[in-house]
Structure 1
Amino acid sequence: MTKPKVLMLVADGSEEIEFVTTYDVLTRAGFEVKSAGVDLKHEFAHMSRNIRLLPDSPTLLALPHQSAHQTYDMLVLPGGMPGAKTFAHNDAVLAMIANFRTEGKYVAAICAATIALVESERRYGGEGRKGKLRVTSHPSVRGKVEKEEGAWEYSEERVVVDAGVVTSRGPGTALLFALTIVELLAGKEKRDEVAGPMIVAETL
């Protein structure tokens, strides 16, 4: 079986727990994970709680970002409002989100990063999707999601999966978010295999 390939983005102000937890869990699952910086001021990302994180690629432009959807099975965006805002204002990121969705690849966003999904759809459209897409986010950006009438159905579930889009609420849901991604790309058996040694609580 081919290893699932996941591209994770990171920006200055991205949330540490959401990024590191997801990267860690996907790596434990044996996935090929690549991280790329978006509009970083330095070669590292200055995260929301002052941790400095060195991505695999310091800039998205160093990757074949225009064809990333052909290489990776999923695009993951961590939250953290400064970082999420960077994603939502970056043309390359918004185009990547649209390309992944058009090609039927997964896009995952946690916490405030859901606003990048909203902005990408506002700019590029829903690619023929019928009806509203169920999503969630951090409560602080709920209004930004619901403002786009007709496109989204807001949920307060901890993790929501709908039409290839995975969304989650915040740092406290990061482990469930990551394990959900593992199950989507590699099945429940792989999820259980990863969760067992981590002593994951039955209720996250």
Structure 2
Amino acid sequence: MPKALILIADGSEEIEFVTPYDVLTRAGFEVKSVGVQLKNEGWAHMTRNVRIVPDAPTLLSLPFQTAHEAYDVLVIPGGGPGAATFSNNDAVLELISNFQQAGKWVAAICAGTTALVAAEKKLGGKKVVVTSHPSVKEQIEKEGWGYSEERVVVNTGVITSRGPGTALLFSLTIVEEIMGKEKRDEVAGPMIVAPTL
């Protein structure tokens, strides 16, 4: 059974957190969410005022230095304030770097892509072609990353996507890349997913 680790912070985007959690669970992943610098102990205050309780309250509550050994994919939701928290958190940047160095998948959506850029800038690594919410495109290109306007981009172990409206396609792409197209179709069917996302 593959395992997914999903980050969550105050100001993370609800749809971009819940959709991957839901879809990956349906696909048979063991999914765990972990809070990053939450102001209120035990729950995250999301961008649209929804409150979500993560499975683990902080990165320190799991051995994040070795998380890349236990999980197959690290998922980073967007939401401007949440993405800024991830991008400025040394433990998150180390987590991203460790996943990439281990050849594990890193998936980021919307402004979450800026955390990949921050990790590469601080710790080194590879710059690949990515996508993101249009509001952070210039910031990403300024750091020398290739950029695509596609709804989802898969490139050398990195999956990126554009925003809340692409969260379902993003999530199904993670399933397909890790478990294959047959599993993606098996998950999408009962969800009545439209042929074109």
Q: Could you tell me the TM-score, scaled by structure 2's length?
A: 0.98
Aligned partner letter, 1:58: P
Partner of 2:25: 27
SS in 2 for 1:40: coil
The equivalent residue for 1:54 is 53
Seq. identity, %: 71
Partner of 1:170: 163
SS in 2 for 1:104: coil
Distance 1:26 1:133 in 2: 24
Equivalent position of 2:195 in the other structure: 202
Give SS of 2:96's match. helix
Counterpart among 118, 138, 141 of residue 133 in structure 2: 138
Amino acid at match of 1:138: H
Q: Measure how far apart 1:141 and its partner are.
A: 0.3
Give 2:151's aligned residue. Answer: 158
Per the alignment, residue 182 of structure 1 pairs with 175
Match of 1:111 in 2: 110
The one of 109, 123, 142 equivalent to 1:147 is 142
Structure 1 gap segments, 5+ residues each:
none
Q: Quote how far apart the aligned CAs of 1:125 are.
A: 1.0
- The CA distance in 2 between the partners of 1:16 and 1:141, in whole Å, is 19
Counterpart of 2:3 in structure 1 is 5
Corresponding residue for 2:68? Answer: 69
Matched residue pairs, number? 196
Cα displacement (A) at 1:124: 1.1
Shift of 1:178: 0.1
Q: TM-score, normalised by structure 1?
A: 0.95
1:40 & 1:9 partners in 2: Cα distance?
11
Aligned-residue RMSD, C-alpha: 0.7
The structure 1 segments of at least 4 consecutive aligned residues displaced by more than 3 Å after TM superposition are none
